[in-house]
Amino acid sequence: MADAGPRPSQARGVPRDGAVPDRITVHGLTGHGFHGVYPAERQHGQTFRVDAVLELDTAPAAATDDLARTVNYAELAQALHAVLVGEPVDLLETLAQRLADRCLADPLVDAVEITVHKPDADLGVPADDVTVAIRRTRR
């Protein structure tokens, strides 16, 4: 019998049987950026790390073994890196939004969670890391 296409419960962006959506994750993407509100941050820069978790339906790619039917994570990593080391912003929240917008520019991505790490943030007290995490969905 020929495949009649996705059943309503398997429509794009809707998890099958209430399951967790498929995910592609890029973890620990690192770059030297000049983000921050303090002059020294803008002058010297520091290391930033990004974790990006994309939600999408990977079944079409798996069924066809076709890279064009999923997110090419190498290309994604390069695009996120360009944002990370690109135009400086004051807030990690702004940087996270720009990274999320880049991910959602791919029509296959239904939702994204971005975590921006600023491990060398000067807090005036010892700390391992500062992070801002956001989740955005396609509207």
> pLDDT (tens digit, 9 = 90+) per residue, 116-127?
999 999 999 999
pLDDT for res 129: 97
CA distance 9 to 128: 43
pTM of the model: 0.86
Catalytic residues: 118
31-37: which pairs have CB atoms within 8 A and are 24 or more residues apart?
31/81, 31/84, 31/85, 32/85, 33/84, 33/85, 33/86, 33/88, 33/95, 34/88, 35/88, 35/89, 35/90, 35/91, 35/92, 35/95, 35/118, 36/88, 36/90, 36/118, 37/90, 37/91
- The pair phi, psi for residue 61, each rounded to 5°, is -70, -40
Q: Tokens in use for 47?
A: 């290391």
Sorting pLDDT into bands at 50, 70 and 90, what band is 83? very high
Could you tell me the residue ranges of all domains in the chain? Answer: 20-137
Dump pLDDT digits (tens) for 18-73: 677 999 999 999 999 999 999 999 999 999 999 999 999 999 999 999 999 999 99
- Paired strand residues for 136: 112
The domain over range 20-137 is classified in CATH as 3.30.1130.10: yes
